Structure formats: C-alpha cells, structure tokens
Chains A and B, each alone.
Chain A
Amino acid sequence: MTTQLSSGAVGRGLGDRVILAATIALAIVMVLPMLWAVGLSLKTNAELLVDTNSVLKAPWTLRNYYDILIGSGVFRWLLNSIIVSVGMSLGVLALSSLAGYGFARLEFPGRNVIFVLVLFGLAIPEQAVILVRHQLFSDLNLHNTYAGLMLPGMSAPFGVFLMTQYFKAIPTEVDEAAMLDNASRFKIFWRVLLPMTLPAQATLGIFTFLHAWNDYWWPLVSGTNEQMYTLTVGIASTQMNFAESAGLGYLMAQAVFAGLPILIVYMFFQKYIVRAVSGAAA
C-alpha cells in the first residue's frame, strides 16, 4: 500500500513537472511576441526601418507614446470606448437578466418558440445583418451617437441563454418563500434572485466589456465622425500608409497602448475572468 502510494506520488510529481514545463514553454511562446511588440514600441521608426533587430540595443525612446498621447484625440477615444463598453455591458446585464428571468420563471404563450428564436441569434454572424442594421440605424439617425454604438451589442442571445440557465438553476422554493412574505414579482427578481446571480452577471459583464472594447467593425461604420471614434478605430486612423515598415515603432506603441486598459481590467478582475472562462467551459 505504502509502495503504491509513493509511486503514485512520484508519478504525479513527474506529471506535474511535465505539465508545468509545457505550460511555461507555451507561456513563453505567448508572451514573446508581446514583449517584442513592447520592445519595438520603444524604438524610433527610422531605426526600425533599417533594422528591426535594433530593438535589442540602446537607445530606446518613449517618443512613440508621446506622439500617441499628444498627437491624437486619444483621450476622447478612450472616453468613448469606456462609455460604450460600460454602457453596453450594463445594457446587456439588464436586458439579459430580465429576459432570463422571464424565460426561466414566467409562463406565457409562445415562451419556448421565442426562446428558440433568441437562440437562433447565436448562429447568425454579425456580417450577415450589418447592412440591414446600418440602414436601420441610419433611418433612425443613430449613427455617430453613443446609442448607435451601444445598441447593437445589447441584443445578446448568449447573455439571455446564460441568465435563463442560471435562473433555472435557482430552486423555485426561493420565490415561493418570498411570495409568502408578500413580495411582488419585481421585488423577488430585484431583491432576492438577482443578487444570487452575481457570478453569472460577472461572467457576462466581463465578456461583454471585452467584446465591446475590442470591437472594430461596427464602430468603424457607425461612428464615422472622428469625435465618435472608439479607441480601436481612432488608433487605426492615425496610422500612416505602409505603417508596417515606415512607422513600425508607432504602430507597436499603438498596439501596446490599446491593450493596456484591457490589461488593467484583467489585473483587477483576474479572479472573475478565470472563473468566467472556466465556468463557460464547464
């Protein structure tokens, strides 16, 4: 018995080490291009035009970051991205929670059909509807407004599905107990059930925020006024032609700069993001 245990422990130790080594190797593969991008961002465009390996040698400079901060409307675009991402996340949370509660708890005619229709939304790619959506928003005069940038992302079939499943997992006895205490339907939803769905809300909120922050296609065609650019679109607009050779340092600084807010979000919400990803996988 003892022998079996120790050989198992040794086997597990070896296995762990192999997994750890593989993880480190993969992490290096993942991190190196990012470090290379950071390195490139600290060199002048002129140096990189001649030799990209100069990244390994001094001098380094913060000039590219200075150019981004001083030379563009980056703070306006940052603000726009924050408004759009936060607004969209709040909207998705509100709508998905209400819809999820409805599908999970309320009996109404056509409930299953409507739920299936909502789920169809998961299968329709954005590109398939973008023309019609663009025309619709145009008719409603919503382009170049925050509403125009936020509203399309608020129809979130995944969010409705997630919240429906989450509400379904909460025993109905909880509702019944609250009803016995004379609570209204809204009060049960707002005060009792919603707080119980916080883990799902965190998952959904984080995913929505990341999606909204990184979105490029819709903001590109809806927020066409420079004052309404989001960070992704604004930063792309500052690139000169053939930036990949003549403006490589600046290009990389843009990439680093655009990624920083997400990195900060990740640092603060790391626990929730890991839980969200593993929860989604489960």
Chain B
Amino acid sequence: MRHLLATLLSCVALASCGVRQAPNEIVVQRFFGTCKAEYGNRTDVENAEGECGIMTTLINRFSAENPDVKVRVSPVAWPGYNQLAAQLASGDPPDLVTMHLSAISDYQSRKLLEPLDKDLRAVGVDPNGFTAASLVSVSKQGQIYGLPIDNWAPLWHINMNYFRQAGLVKDGKPILPRSPEELLAHARQFKQATGKPYFVQALANERAAYTRNLYTLLMQQSVDFFADPQQVKLQSPETKQVVAMFRQLYVEDLTTKNQDYAAATNGFINGAGGVYLVGTWMIGDFDAESRKAGRPLTNGYAVMPWPQLYARDATFIDGHAWVMPVRDRTPRQRDAVFRLLKFLADHDFEWSRTGHLPAYKAVIESERFNALPHRSEIAKIATTGMPLPSAVQRQFPVQDIIGEEMAAAITGHKTVDAALADAEHRVNDLLFHLL
C-alpha cells in the first residue's frame, strides 16, 4: 500500500510539472519551421538560406548581441492560429507572434493585440518607412498593430523557353496580355506552338489561389467588392467575367488540371506549362533550377506581377507581420520585445532574400535588393499591391469559400451565376455570425 501511495504521489508531482517564464525572457512564437541541425547556433545571417534559415540566424544573432535578454523561440505548425487562440483564451499568449497581415483584423477587432506605434517610434522604427502595401496592412483604426515582415503576392512565374517557342518574347522580355481577350489569345497561341497548357495551377488543395487571382482582377477593375466589410458583393458583371475567363481556360485545356500544390510545382519545374500562378516564395527555387543545365527552365525563367488586364495596375497582396498579444509583461520583457522588433526591422533586407517583398521603402529602393535575381521586376508590387480592406475579418475562411465556389464554376459543377451566388451567401453568412 505504501508503494502504491508513493507511486501516486510521484505521479501527481510529475503531472503538475510545467514551464514558467523568467522575468527577462520573451517568448517568440513563429511559423517557418525549424532547422536547428543546419542553423541551430549560427549567427551568420548573410550566409543563411530560406525562410527558416534566415529567421533562425536572425534571432540567434539578436540573442548573441543582447545577452541580457533570453529569447525562447516556440515554433508552431503553420499557421499556428489554433494554438494562439488557445493561448489567448487561457491568458498565456507569447510575447511576439508571426501573423499573416490578413489575419490581424481577427485579433485586433477583439482587442487582443497591442498597438505598437509609440514604442516602435521610441526605438527608432518609423512606420512612415513601411512600404504603402505594408503600412495599410498593419494599420487598423489609425494605429499600427504589427511590425510588417514582408509582402507576398500571386505572381506569374514564366518558362521563357516555351514563351520563346510560342513567339511571346520581345527584347528578351515575356509578352504579357493586356486584356482578358488577349490573355485567351496568348494562351491559345502558346498551346498551338508548344502543345502545353499556358497556365500551371495548383487547384486541388490550394483553392485560395483562385480567390487571390479573382481579387487581383477585381482590384484592377476598381470593383469595391468589400465596400461593407461585413458583406461581400460577388454577383457583379465584372466578377462573372473573370470567373468565365478562368472557366474558358479550363474548358479549352489551356491550364493544367487536378493538380495539388506539390504536383503543380513539380510540373512547372519539369516543363508542364508556360506560366505558374504562385507566390513570391518560389523565386529562389525556380531561379536555382534555371541555372542547372539541361532542364526545362535552363536559362529560361522570368517572374512578373499579374499583368494589367484592366484600367488599373493592381495586385492583391498579403504578407507576414510580428504582432504583440495583450498580456502583462515586466518592463524588461517589454524593453526586450521592442529591441528585438527594432533588430528585425533593421535586418529586413536579409529576409527579402527569401523571395518575399521587403516591408520597408528603404530596402525595396536599395541597390542590393534590386541586385537580387528578379527582384527589380516585382518591386513595383510594393506600390501596386492592395490588401483587402483592413476591417474585413476571417479572410482565410473567406478565401477558402470563394475558392471552392470558383472551382465549382470553373470545372463545370455549377454555373458561374450559381457559384457566385453561393459564394456570396456563404461568405456573408460567415461574416454575419461573427462574435
């Protein structure tokens, strides 16, 4: 019986074990994965590669330069919002969190994030130095709720070897369409010349891509589809025209079909089509592929923002930011948080090597940024990039709903009219029932 009691007491003691935060310790919760095997103790940010490598070495260097601060990095499974919601509910959120710009509204509207303006300025980070796209994304009700890390946008990754074959290259630059009609004409011309589809698209598990393209083409027509942040309007003639164009591309086999993200990426690398519609983050991989001999992309890779098909040059953008959840902090912790934010802001160029667009005007205008491969072609997104209105909440599920319905229309399971009516109804229902 004594043994049983001792065992039980040991179990209770073990069960109550947990982790407590030291007064000089800050918890930094982020996605981007872990890569400690390669970058665990390294501080040479300049030599690091990829999102994980650069972020890990950045924080390592900050820790090395600030020995009085203990930074505990807590990586989370992408995107980490379930964990964050749980932490906020239990009153134990981290000190800094990576957050998509499009998700900030969800937390800021419930007063779960701290405004950062005053403290950022105090440590020498001036929000006026953010790019227009970044500034508007972190600004809510006249205050700054995040330190922007970057912007990303759907881009046209182009196989120039096929474009050349299709007669769509002039002066070494890809000839891009300037209207929906021209886009269809180019796609047909491309297919006829190469036998390949014009577009490579990841649609099987990445339907948000449809939505981002739709947003872009509506923004180019200056359609204010979220005039009321709680009510989307998707049954306009402009929206129908865009969806009908994607449907036409699908019907005429001018796009790859039924591919998930991995298959589409793999397909583009192996020459499955002319234009891969995917974000900024793939530039490095495709550029590396173009430098290998005997590959479909060898010496034949270009990347461009969405071409201007309508009156306005605009591209839907999202991005990442550091946000600071509301919680009690010691003065030392608060000081450490803003020192780290200042450090990260000062090193934004390093982050831009990932392929993402810098969040700071000074970096995007710098020679060293424009000297990076293909960056000068996409730099204009810093001014033409547009997020959804900052008051729109639940942007991730909204993207999914619209993408699902667009997929139904494009593949012919629903008419365009029915799909857009359903999308509008479902999104508005979601937004109506927000707490």
- B59-95 CB contacts (< 8 Å) to partner A: 72-78, 82-83, 85-87, 89-92
| Cross-chain contact A72 with B92 (CB below 8 angstroms) | no
Q: How far, in Å, is A8 (CB) from chain B's closest CB?
A: 50
Binding-face segment, B27-35, B300-308, B363-371, B402-410: B27-35
The reply on B261 being an interface residue by CB < 8 A is yes
Interface mask (B34-69 → A, CB under 8 Å = 1, otherwise 0): 111110100000000011100000000000000000
The reply on B285 being an interface residue by CB < 8 A is yes
Identity of the chain A residue whose Cβ is nearest the Cβ of B15 in the assembled complex: A147
Q: How far, in Å, is A95 (CB) from chain B's closest CB?
A: 13
Q: How far, in Å, is A34 (CB) from chain B's closest CB?
A: 19
The reply on B265 being an interface residue by CB < 8 A is yes
Q: How far, in Å, is B287 (CB) from chain A's closest CB?
A: 13
Q: How far, in Å, is A194 (CB) from chain B's closest CB?
A: 13
A49 contacts which of B74, B260, B265 (Cβ < 8 Å)?
B265
Binding-face segment, B16-24, B209-217, B238-246: B16-24
Q: In the complex, A72→B12 CA distance in Å?
A: 28
B34 contacts which of A135, A233, A237 (Cβ < 8 Å)?
A237
The reply on B130 being an interface residue by CB < 8 A is no
Q: In the complex, A244→B265 CA distance in Å?
A: 10
| Cross-chain contact B90 with A66 (CB below 8 angstroms) | no
A72 contacts which of B14, B36, B265, B269 (Cβ < 8 Å)?
B36
B37 contacts which of A66, A220, A233 (Cβ < 8 Å)?
A66
| Cross-chain contact B92 with A146 (CB below 8 angstroms) | no
The reply on A242 being an interface residue by CB < 8 A is yes
The reply on B11 being an interface residue by CB < 8 A is yes
The reply on A83 being an interface residue by CB < 8 A is yes
Q: In the complex, A146→B16 CA distance in Å?
A: 6
Interface mask (A229-254 → B, CB under 8 Å = 1, otherwise 0): 00001001111111111111000000
Given known pairs A221-B82, A239-B78, the reply for A138 and B91 (CB within 8 Å) is yes
Given known pairs A49-B285, A224-B86, the reply for A238 and B32 (CB within 8 Å) is no
Q: How far, in Å, is A215 (CB) from chain B's closest CB?
A: 14
Q: In the complex, A18→B350 CA distance in Å?
A: 63
Given known pairs A51-B270, A134-B89, the reply for A245 and B34 (CB within 8 Å) is no
Residues of B within 8 A of A145 (CB): 15-18
Q: In the complex, A227→B27 CA distance in Å?
A: 12
| Cross-chain contact B86 with A225 (CB below 8 angstroms) | no
| Cross-chain contact B19 with A228 (CB below 8 angstroms) | yes
| Cross-chain contact A241 with B90 (CB below 8 angstroms) | no
| Cross-chain contact B90 with A134 (CB below 8 angstroms) | yes
A71 contacts which of B32, B40, B72, B92 (Cβ < 8 Å)?
B40
A residues contacting B by CB (< 8 A) are 49-52, 66-67, 70-72, 83, 87, 90, 134-135, 137-138, 143-148, 150, 220-222, 224-228, 233, 236-248
B residues contacting A by CB (< 8 A) are 11-12, 14-19, 31-38, 40, 50-52, 72-78, 82-83, 85-87, 89-92, 260-262, 265-266, 269-270, 281, 285, 289
* 8 A–B pairs (Cβ distance < 8 Å), ordered by A: A87-B11, A135-B89, A145-B16, A147-B12, A237-B76, A240-B33, A240-B35, A248-B262
